[in-house]
Amino acid sequence: GIQVEQSPPDLILQEGANSTLRCNFSDSVNNLQWFHQNPWGQLINLFYIPSGTKQNGRLSATTVATERYSLLYISSSQTTDSGVYFCAGDTGGFKTIFGAGTRLFVKA
Amino acid sequence: GAGVSQSPSNKVTEKGKDVELRCDPISGHTALYWYRQSLGQGLEFLIYFQGNSAPDKSGLPSDRFSAERTGGSVSTLTIQRTQQEDSAVYLCASSLVVAGGPGETQYFGPGTRLLVL
């Protein structure tokens, strides 16, 4: 089955710093999404981005579908950005596969 | 409701007992997903429902797990003869899927935390 690799697995930032999270897929994927899981466990969708670039405030994402990867950019990080970031996608049929996540801690 | 709701929020049961977990999707969403998340791990796909189509059960880990969706809305995930390894957070998500179109963003409920003693 499809493999989803996220990097880095763990990341510690000083408040105000920028970062890039990466998601690689072993095969072509549909319906690529990025999620943030806050420290209380709630998953929030950040982007639905099967291709191209989108921006939402301090966050932006780029997916290069032909090269099977996606990037999530966090600028001017804040302590509330802490949590786990997941990317996910499917190869058709909507069986969604999640990566293992990037655990982010932003220090005040 | 405004979002996906799940009940109960927490469930403690004894090994061998059956449990039922409930998910209420966002009104009008035709697609519904169940996932399992073990402590510190990513999400594991369990089952997917889309409208009146046959569900995709390919992720169910054993025949002790089953799910149904009544009237295209509420869904129940049932685990029979629970085992300690079933302890996890069970998450439900829904999305608005346009027939013949691409999938849409999944919206998650708060999850049910299951502990099997």
pLDDT digits (tens, 9 = 90+) for B4-54: 999 999 999 999 999 999 999 999 898 999 999 998 888 999 999 988 788
Q: What per-residue confidence (pLDDT) applies to B103? A: 63
What the block records as the tokens of B45 is 């796909």
Cα separation of B56 and B98, whole Å? 18
Q: What per-residue confidence (pLDDT) applies to B56? A: 84
- At B1, the pLDDT band (50, 70, 90 cuts) reads low
Task: Give pLDDT tens digits for A91-100.
Answer: 777 788 999 9
Say if residues A35 and A85 touch (Cβ distance below 8 Å).
yes
Nearest to A94 among B31, B44, B111 (CB): B31
Q: Please name every residue paired with B67 in a beta bridge, in sequence order, or none if there are none.
A: B77
Selected residues 46-105 of chain A with any CB under 8 Å from a CB in chain B:
48, 50, 86, 88, 90, 93-101
Nearest to B42 among A30, A45, A99 (CB): A99
Sign of CA dihedral B99, B102, B107, B108: positive
Name the amino acid, one letter, at B3: G
- Residue found by looking up tokens 């639905």 in the block: A48
Comparison of pLDDT for B100 and B19, the residue scoring more = B19
Nearest to B33 among A42, A48, A96 (CB): A96
| Ramachandran bin of A42, using left for φ above 0, alpha for ψ from -120 to 50, beta for the remaining angles | beta
Q: What is the pLDDT along chain A (108 residues), one digit of tens a residue?
A: 788 999 999 999 999 999 999 999 998 888 899 999 999 999 999 999 999 999 999 999 999 999 999 999 999 999 999 999 999 988 777 788 999 999 999 999
Q: Kindly calculate the radius of gyration of chain A based on its CA atoms and give it in whole angstroms.
A: 13
Chain B residues whose beta carbon lies within 8 Å of the beta carbon of residue A63:
none
Q: Decide if B108 and A88 are in contact by the 8 Å CB cutoff.
A: no
Say if residues B94 and B33 touch (Cβ distance below 8 Å).
yes
- For residue A18, how many C-alpha atoms fall within 13 Å in the half-sphere facing its CB? 7
